[in-house]
Amino acid sequence: MIISSLRDKIEEILEKEHGQLKKGVSVEIPPPNFGDFAINCHSLRKILGMDSSDSVMDVVEHLYNELKREEKKEEWLFHVTPEKHGYVSFFVDYYKLAFFVFKKINEEGDKYGLGNVGNGKKVMIEYPSQNTHKEFHIGHLRNVCIGNCLVELYKKSGFEVIPVNYLNDFGRHVVKCLWAIQKFHKDEEPSDNKQKWLGQVYAEAEEKLKDNEGAKEELDELQKKLEDHDPEIWELFKKTRDWSVEGFDRILAELGTKHEKVFFESDIKEKGQKIVDELLKKDIAKEGEGGAIIVDLEDDSLDIALIRKSSGAGVYMTSDLALAKEKFENYDVEESINITGNEQDFYFKQLFKILELYGFKPKMTHIGYGLVNLPSGKMSSRKGNVILYEDLRDQVMDKMLRETKKRHDDWDEEKIKNNAEKLTQAVLKFTMQKHESNKVVSFDFDEAVSFEGFSAPYILYVVARINSLLKKSKAESRKPKVNFSLLEEVEEKRLLLLIAEYPEIIKKALERYNPSTITKYCFDLAKAFNDYYNKYRITDAESEELVRMRMAVCGSVKFVLENALNLLSIETVEEM
RNA sequence: GGGCCCGUAGUUCAAUGGAUAGAAUAGAAGCCUUCUAAGCUUUAGAUCUAGGUUCGAUUCCUAGCGGGCCUACCA
């Protein structure tokens, strides 16, 4: 809010003065003790075409006066220092800033910090698009966390969001799994977690197929049968697919994901095959080596895309062509967003290009996030180094139960379990969103189950502390009659500036499809609070008035933290 | 071979081209008769190499080195 509006206003003033667009003024938050905001003088000189020896103080003086005049209605502003190290610094009037920020929070309530860039626009967000008959590992978890966060960000920025999933229940992986069941597990019925069992059988199939050249024909034949709905295999397919779907539903519900629609590849594949026929007719696609159907995208440096195998069977691309049409034709959305691992970046470029050639070009966005690797390397079911979501969750839960019990031996089982469950979800979700979403991350198990430092418990602990303060003081947070002139400690000012910065953070997270902006912000705010808490008394400060003012600051920290965590689909706990 | 991504403390990560490169963790030393120690304080520690653009480069460009991913019958 503050930085961006400051920059916008400065550019607006410059534009008015100098007649043309003057973009690129650098407005920054300086290091400690260098003021609250600073304008970079070099950037100012550059856009005004001034020499590096020219003084900018006249311009700054003018900007300052204009800003002050403009800001009168918002009533927070500053004094200004001479140029030093290439910067002029501004100091904020905290009394007025506090008044301004609290007023804003009171007026906007839960909408504080959220814009309306969506303006009612309808978007579809597809994630995590996992495969049936395979395991659900922590890579899928990252996808779900990023997806959940984007859905929230879009919703709260004024978009109408339709979250959907697309289950790939008809590809080669299914064939491999069914093949292994028929061959090695005929008539076996897993007892409890059937979804997990299927994942294990799939991994076994990969293992067995590794040095079994002859099996390719068996698989081809099985795939053909499957695509022809041959009763011999169809029964088994339906049954096992349901096992997978039920298992996934349980996991997604646990993670707080609510899909409005689930597409199945098996329902869509035939439509995709029809599009392939059309592409052939239009001469966009052609027959390639061995009779497979391809689209030559060499002219666009996108190599060659395979859209139908020589056996006549479809590939992923076959169905994805139809899925894209389905989305826009049946749901009337303006944009379709797809979240997958970024190893599919190239695949999606090909897909969008083919659709464009086909004459279908609504707005489609692919967001690729970095894979989750283990210290030992890439997760691979063949090598047996995969961390399943459910296994990780159970271990974190174990630890959270132990830690909670240790600290609260007076709580009953129910309460302990409840708290540990919330903490577990918080830990998992926070961990998966700590890093910039487009970067490959290396997953460290010990770090993931830890509860120190840059982690969910650190943040939730702050909220619990504030809850305790609120209980103790019985003072209402954000109560109007607060004397902000008592606000004088640097730690209080830091908290205030961070709270004022929140809208800016949300904006950035949305622009960059990057939840880590929010996790990092939560940590910064929580840390700033702990600094403050350890240094000053709050419920028994010197005066009644001071208690009220400090409680108001605490209340708004809790308010902003809870809202930010909400965007990460993390729930807080009352005590911990 | 071609394309995309990445290279920052021992480790895992930050830093719209700007002031003193921030955190976390592991290491060393401290703080609970005081609002929740899942906390706080102090300390030590880093930009792959060589050029270029710039008043200024971790950031942009070129080359090299190192790693990951994709590249027509895997997804």
Q: How many CB atoms lie within 10 A of CB A199?
A: 24
ipTM computed for the complex:
0.96
At position A571, the amino acid (one-letter code) is E
CA of A352 to C1' of B15 (A): 34
Q: How many CB atoms lie within 10 A of CB A477?
A: 19
Looking at strand B, which nucleotides approach a protein CB closer than 7 A?
A: 2-6, 11-20, 22-26, 35-36, 38-41, 55-56, 67-75
Taking the C-alpha atoms of residue A146 and residue A369, their distance in angstroms, rounded to an integer, is 9
Out of A56-65, A102-111, A137-146, A287-296, which region has the weakest mean confidence (pLDDT)? A56-65
Out of A12-21, A271-280, A333-342, A393-402, which region has the weakest mean confidence (pLDDT)? A12-21
Decide: residue A331, CB within 10 A, 0-12 exposed, 13-18 middle, 19+ buried. middle
Q: pLDDT tens across A385-398, in order?
A: 889 999 999 999 99
Out of A163-172, A328-337, A361-370, A436-445, which region has the weakest mean confidence (pLDDT)? A436-445
Q: pLDDT tens across A87-115, in order?
A: 888 888 888 888 888 888 989 999 999 98
Given a cut of 60, whether residue A549 has pLDDT beyond it is yes
Contact present, A564 and A521 (Cβ < 8 Å): yes
Question: Which of the nucleotides lies closest to A454 (Cα–C1')?
Answer: B24
CA closest to B56 C1', residue = A42
CATH 2.40.50.100 fits A389-567, yes or no: no
| Nearest of A340, A427, A379, A349 to residue A146 by alpha carbon | A340
Given a cut of 60, whether residue A73 has pLDDT beyond it is no
Taking the C-alpha atoms of residue A555 and residue A466, their distance in angstroms, rounded to an integer, is 7
How far, in whole angstroms, is CA A404 from its chain's centroid?
Answer: 28
Taking the C-alpha atoms of residue A477 and residue A525, their distance in angstroms, rounded to an integer, is 18
Q: How confident is the model at residue A72 (pLDDT cuts 50, 70, 90)?
A: low
- The listed range with the strongest mean pLDDT (A49-53, A140-144, A447-451) is A140-144
The domains of chain A are located at 2-92, 127-266+332-378, 389-567
Q: Which residues contact A25 (CB under 8 A, 6 or more apart)?
A: A7, A10, A11, A14, A39, A40, A43, A44, A47
Taking the C-alpha atoms of residue A352 and residue A370, their distance in angstroms, rounded to an integer, is 21
Q: pLDDT tens across A176-194, in order?
A: 999 999 999 998 888 889 9
Among residues of chain A, what percentage have pLDDT more than 90? 64
Given a cut of 60, whether residue A476 has pLDDT beyond it is no
**Mean pLDDT score, A322-333:** 96
Q: pLDDT tens across A31-43, in order?
A: 767 788 888 888 8
Q: Domain A2-92 is classified in which CATH homologous superfamily?
A: Arginyl tRNA synthetase N-terminal domain (3.30.1360.70)
Question: Which of the nucleotides lies closest to A459 (Cα–C1')?
Answer: B38
CA closest to B18 C1', residue = A40
Question: Which of the nucleotides lies closest to A450 (Cα–C1')?
Answer: B38
What is the average pLDDT value for chain A, to the nearest integer? 90
Out of A124-128, A214-218, A305-309, A402-406, which region has the weakest mean confidence (pLDDT)? A214-218
**Mean pLDDT score, A414-435:** 96
Among residues of chain A, what percentage have pLDDT more than 70? 95
CA of A452 to C1' of B37 (A): 12
Contact present, A59 and A48 (Cβ < 8 Å): yes
CA of A199 to C1' of B58 (A): 43
Question: Which of the nucleotides lies closest to A317 (Cα–C1')?
Answer: B75
CA closest to B68 C1', residue = A440
Torsion of CA A412, A465, A460, A414, to 10 degrees: 10
Check for a shared fold between A127-266+332-378 and A389-567: no
CA of A519 to C1' of B9 (A): 22
Question: What's the CATH fold of domain A127-266+332-378?
Answer: Rossmann fold (3.40.50)
Q: pLDDT tens across A207-256, in order?
A: 888 777 778 889 988 988 998 899 989 999 999 999 999 999 999 999 99
Q: Is the peptide bond before A128 cis (omega within 30 degrees of 0)?
A: yes
Q: How confident is the model at residue A445 (pLDDT cuts 50, 70, 90)?
A: confident
Q: How confident is the model at residue A477 (pLDDT cuts 50, 70, 90)?
A: very low
Contact present, A569 and A148 (Cβ < 8 Å): yes
CA of A436 to C1' of B14 (A): 10
What is the pLDDT, as a whole number, of residue A2? 63
Question: Which of the nucleotides lies closest to A403 (Cα–C1')?
Answer: B38
Residue A335 in tokens: 């944009």
CA of A212 to C1' of B2 (A): 31
Instruction: Please tell me which residue, A487 or A538, carries the higher pLDDT value.
Output: A538
**Mean pLDDT score, A316-331:** 96
